[in-house]
Structure 1
Amino acid sequence: MYKNKMRIYVKILKGSECEVSISAGASIHDVKLQLQSQVSIPVDQQKLIYQGKALLDEKSLAHYKIGDGAKLFLMLKKPGTGATPATSSSTPSHTPLKSPEIVPMAVDVQEEEFTITEDPTGFWEKLSVFLKRHFTEKDAVKVLKEFKKNYDRGLDSLSLDDIERLAAKKLQEGGYGYPLRS
């Protein structure tokens, strides 16, 4: 191992893991170039993910605080389509998901409270009850509205490859009560 070089590991979601030996000051584009030579996936079809964030080509490994032994995830973007697990590009295409609508209704406090019209799991109702135990009703409504707004914003920013990556991770761990596939 050369001085100033470090090893980072890149997990290809529908494949194996490969090792890249690179300078700590290298750019994400430099990593993609090395990956292109190792796994034969063109740079423009690659998207690297670290700690849940898509990495920009022009930024350095140091910018993202990626150190020796770090693990990146490689996503693939097929030409003309959205990102799919295996590798991908720096501009994720995604279909936004919609969460249940909030419908305002009046309450005693002269402040409007809202309820979810479709809440099959009862999550929003349980959160509302919890918040009312710790805040005044008026403040609980404000906190719930802000939480819901942030929730919707986060959901809208998920891409299909993000969802598939999360699902694959949970299924591999045996999460959600699903047995591991053999």
Structure 2
Amino acid sequence: MQVMVKMLNGGQCAIEVSGDTKVSELKTQVEMSLFVPPYLQRLVYKGRTLAEEMSLDEAGITEGAKIHLMVKKGESPFHANGACSSKSVSSPPAVDFFTQLAVFLSKHLTEEQTTKVVIEFRKNCQLMIESMNFDDIERFAASNFTEF
């Protein structure tokens, strides 16, 4: 069945799931489409927050249902991954780069192509960041992020 996940800021996506899909699995699919990490997601259906261990059937979700995504205020992504111990972020950015990229690409590509391109670009960025040392970062910043 297909369900619609809608954010308050207007972002939305259609996701293909089965009735026995767990809410935690749905959150992973939402992350791929809307780029909100699962730990910051609160999914609400008919005014009820969906529990992670609950299946979509148990929640009464049917074909074409609209699920609302609330983005939690809270931890920075670095804290959740164990890279930083401070809670310095009080709210998520209004619109992140990857969301803006998806909006731009969606004007030129199909939804499926847009999702694939953004996911692949996101992976490539992560690999590039992980491979950089401090000197590389300084050179990259000094070049206005144009040369690596």
Larger proportion of strand: 1
TM-score, normalized by length of structure 2? 0.50
Give 1 or 2: higher helix fraction.
2
